[in-house]
A = this chain, B = another copy of it.
Amino acid sequence: MASNEFDLIARYFEHQAVSRRDVILPIGDDCALLAVPVGSQLAVSTDTLVAGTHFLAEADPARVAHKALASNLSDLAAMGATPAWVSLALTLPEPDEIWLAGFCQGFFALAEYYNVQLVGGDTTKGPLSITITVHGFVPQGEALTRSGANSGDWVYVTGNLGDSAAGLALVLGQQQVEDPQLRDCLLARHYLPQPRILAGQALRGIATAALDISDGLIADLGHILTRSGLAAVIDVDKLPLSPELCRFAPERDRALQLALSSGEEYELCFTVPEQNRGAIETALAHSGVQATCIGQLRSGQGITLMRGEVPLDWQLHGYDHFAE
């Protein structure tokens, strides 16, 4: 008997054990029924990944699943939210069981790490794409938005920047590296980003604004500036670069430009007033990630790149799906 849509869904997506008590009715009815804790607000975000645009159709399905879910969880991290539930809409050219098994392995491994329950979705026939909607909780009034920054706040990023762009260049064959360890490391940074969930939660009450870097630091910081009505001065020499990126791009300016424009980093960019700076290190101690101050906000608009006291005229753009 041929696989049909219902078999597929039942076999691959209904087998996650329900371990959350706030899932009243799990996947399998017309809707999931869910309970939001009293005193919490619901944070919701949706992202689509399309084969050929966001990933290669022949990519390892477990990695594709990881990245699809990680990029959505990263949006929750950027709000300071705690992940809870996820919906998955999967469009497939055909019911490929090997692909599905790999996809599920990557998807559920990450979901279970963050105790996220799959509560619904749809499996349809068509060109390969993945749409994920994540749901999380934030204590009322404590969410980290893009619009809360003030002039004088300091600009921070978590982790290192630029590694994902380096990994992508390797995937696309735009550059080679000889050391297999270096290659594997950069590929992992591209394929297996870690959403900064714990860091986002830890920054509640400390950061005034936050977002995750998915379109490149320049483009994403621009969103905070637009929403908050401010300008930023960034000292490029303070950008955190991994040793691996410095080996991939030994010319320092190129490494810095990768760090400024690399999309899909899924690090957090956030702003902190002077009086909260001392609290950052302690707050992030258990998040597994460090934060680096890269600049400061001031009145005006736009981003000024500096090297120490010297303005730079680098022309950089964020990632844009519809750009020619």
CB atoms of A53 and B143 under 8 A apart: no
With A and B bound together, what is the CA distance between A118 and B14 in angstroms? 28
Residues of chain B with a CB closer than 8 A to A43's CB: 31-34
CB atoms of A46 and B79 under 8 A apart: no
Contact residues of A between 147 and 195, Cβ < 8 Å to B: 147
CB atoms of A46 and B76 under 8 A apart: no
For residue A66, give the distance in angstroms from its CB to the closest CB of chain B: 18
Q: Which of A119-127, A249-257, A305-313 binds B?
A: A119-127
CB atoms of B35 and A41 under 8 A apart: yes
Q: A33-B79, A33-B138 are in contact. Are A124 and B41 (CB under 8 A)?
A: no
A58 on the B face (CB < 8 A): no
CB atoms of B48 and A122 under 8 A apart: yes
Interface centre among A29, A30, A41 (most CB of B within 10 A): A30
CB atoms of B129 and A46 under 8 A apart: no
A81 on the B face (CB < 8 A): yes
A95 on the B face (CB < 8 A): yes
A17 on the B face (CB < 8 A): no
For residue A78, give the distance in angstroms from its CB to the closest CB of chain B: 4
Q: Which of A84-92, A276-284, A292-300 binds B?
A: A84-92
With A and B bound together, what is the CA distance between A120 and B132 in angstroms? 12
CB atoms of B121 and A4 under 8 A apart: no
CB atoms of A321 and B125 under 8 A apart: yes
Q: A145-B25, A322-B95 are in contact. Are A41 and B34 (CB under 8 A)?
A: yes
In the complex, which range does the number of interface residues on chain A fall in?
Answer: 35 or more
Q: A43-B32, A145-B29 are in contact. Are A3 and B322 (CB under 8 A)?
A: yes
CB atoms of B136 and A31 under 8 A apart: yes
With A and B bound together, what is the CA distance between A98 and B78 in angstroms? 34
B3, B30, B136, B322: which contacts A75 (Cβ < 8 A)?
B30
Residues of chain B with a CB closer than 8 A to A35's CB: 41-42, 140
CB atoms of B143 and A87 under 8 A apart: no
Residues of chain B with a CB closer than 8 A to A8's CB: 322
For residue A75, give the distance in angstroms from its CB to the closest CB of chain B: 4
Q: A25-B143, A30-B79, A41-B24 are in contact. Are A46 and B89 (CB under 8 A)?
A: yes
Residues of chain B with a CB closer than 8 A to A316's CB: none
B50, B131, B140: which contacts A48 (Cβ < 8 A)?
B131
Known: A32-B45, A47-B122, A94-B322. 10 other contacts (CB 8 A): A2-B322, A30-B79, A30-B212, A33-B42, A33-B143, A33-B145, A46-B89, A91-B129, A127-B127, A131-B131
A-B contact pairs, 9 of them (CB 8 A): A24-B143, A28-B146, A30-B45, A31-B81, A34-B43, A44-B135, A48-B91, A53-B124, A124-B129
